[in-house]
Structure 1
Amino acid sequence: MKNLLALALILTSVSTKAENVYSQQFQAIQDIELVEITTDESGEEVEKVLERKQLPSELQELIERPVEKDVSGVIMMTRQLIALGKEIYEIVEAGKPVVTVESEPVQILPRDEQGATIQAMELAGWRAPKVKKYSVRARNYLGMTPASFDFMLIYSYGGKYRGKGAYITGAQIKPTSVNVAWGYNLDANFKVQSIVNQGSDASPVAGAVLMIDYRIKTVLMDRTNNASYFINGLGQTTTY
């Protein structure tokens, strides 16, 4: 009986020490990866690490989140272009994908001589949607990935007004998978950062920078990161 009691005490002591080490290492993120996911000729998924951010181990002050507005309509405009949609799109809240049926995707459309918006249905020549897949993974000091989410950037392009220009419609970033371990919290949103005309006054080519912000939080840390994607009316996508 004494031997069993001693063994139980030893196991409890070892378990308690392991638990303490585990909780500290589990709650601290070592690095975050941004991965682009493509499909090869055989149909297999191929992953390419676009960015790996090594995070400091010491605690940081809580990072203030920007004021989030929920305004539908005009986001921004130039002389030839107008961006329509919401100022900020929430896509992950408290570790769960946000499904908002009423939200209109981003559109970069032409303006007429009076400055009025020319709607997407008035344009012709739209191409099939362009889709790019990505994954964000937070790795802790145990080599585990307690917080991750997969998402896709999707948009239609190539719409022309009276045979000229190349515009964008249906642009959005959508989460496809969110995995968050106990003790972790994940939020993400995206917005249009800027729009440009890559063409001429007579035949504009719409371009836009979409920026995704994601915040990973535990009891020990609070980190915010972002990634930007440039898309245009020719179907070109650049990550930076």
Structure 2
Amino acid sequence: MSNSDADTIMAAPASITVTATPSSIIIDEASILFNKAKSVWSIISKNAATADIHTIHGNVLPANINSPLDLQSWSPSPVSRSSSLTIYSRLGARVLQFDYDLEFLYGGSLNGRGAYLDGITVVPSRTTIAWCYVFNANVEITSIRNVGTSDDPVAAAHVELKYQLKALSRVEGTTSFDIKGDGRVDVLHSK
């Protein structure tokens, strides 16, 4: 083998460019999901409900639309699931009673296909906090996904209510919900 043959065999190839024409790429944007609203927001700050709890929310919509108004067949009214969080001191006295509602609209479809989510939020209904404690709570949509098919997407969102109660010690926790575009809600865990 000559020197020039060895150089040819060992030399790295020139950069290779792969191109695809638009007709060879088919993406159904109705099955690509986005949260086009908020991902994280506060609902209780220093023992008081935030002023904008009724206007801030999340959603799970197809990528190719600009607004939930582009969809049809929404549920006639929001789904509301009531829950409660109660925390007691070491002496057995109740230091926090936090009642809230998980709310969302479901079933929005695009051209008769899919089941999407809008208006995902947590609304405090009653908060009772013992003197000298400070309570904060945030809502976070940690993930969104399609639990249906690419032909008939069903949006799903993992929603976490994260809370913190502070005084001389601190209690923190998370309650998780899995909501789906067909109206189902699963409470996953509380820690």
TM more than 0.5: yes
Which whole-Å deviations, capped at 9, do the CAs of 1:60-100 have from their partners, x for residues lacking one? xxxxxxxxxxxxxxxxxx96111122231101111111121
Q: 1:186 aligns with which of 122, 128, 135?
A: 135
Structure 2 residue 153 is matched with structure 1 residue 201: no
Q: Is the CA contact 2:31–2:146 (under 8 Å) kept in the aligned structure 1?
A: no
- 2:47 match: 95
Task: Give the aligned residue type for 2:115.
Answer: A
Over 3 Å counting, the alpha-carbon distance change for 1:101 and 1:207 in structure 2 is closer
Over 3 Å counting, the alpha-carbon distance change for 1:162 and 1:119 in structure 2 is same
Q: Aligned equivalents of 1:137 and 1:228: distance in 2?
A: 16
- 1:36 match: none
Q: Where in structure 2 are there 5+ consecutive unaligned residues?
A: 1-29
Q: Give every structure 1 segment of 4 or more consecutive aligned residues whose post-TM-superposition deviation is greater than 4 Å.
A: none
State the TM-score, normalized to the length of structure 2. Answer: 0.78
- 1:51 match: none
- 2:20 match: none
Q: Where in structure 1 are there 5+ consecutive unaligned residues?
A: 1-77
Q: Aligned equivalents of 1:126 and 1:118: distance in 2?
A: 16
Which whole-Å deviations, capped at 9, do the CAs of 1:30-84 have from their partners, x for residues lacking one? xxxxxxxxxxxxxxxxxxxxxxxxxxxxxxxxxxxxxxxxxxxxxxxx9611112
Percent of pairs with identical residues: 27
Which whole-Å deviations, capped at 9, do the CAs of 1:99-152 have from their partners, x for residues lacking one? 21684311111123xxxx342111110012111001111111232211121110
- 1:110 match: 62
Q: Is the CA contact 2:31–2:62 (under 8 Å) kept in the aligned structure 1?
A: no
RMSD: 1.9
Over 3 Å counting, the alpha-carbon distance change for 1:177 and 1:101 in structure 2 is closer
Q: Aligned to 1:121, what secondary structure does the other structure show? A: helix
1:1-240 to 2 correspondences below 5 Å: 80-100=32-52, 103-112=55-64, 117-127=65-75, 128-219=77-168, 221-240=169-188
Q: Aligned equivalents of 1:88 and 1:111: distance in 2?
A: 20
Q: Is the CA contact 1:86–1:103 (under 8 Å) kept in the aligned structure 2?
A: no
Number of aligned positions between the proteins: 159
State the TM-score, normalized to the length of structure 1. Answer: 0.63
Task: Give the aligned residue type for 2:90.
Answer: Y
Q: Aligned equivalents of 1:213 and 1:232: distance in 2?
A: 20
Q: Is the CA contact 1:94–1:186 (under 8 Å) kept in the aligned structure 2?
A: yes
The structure whose Rg is larger is 2
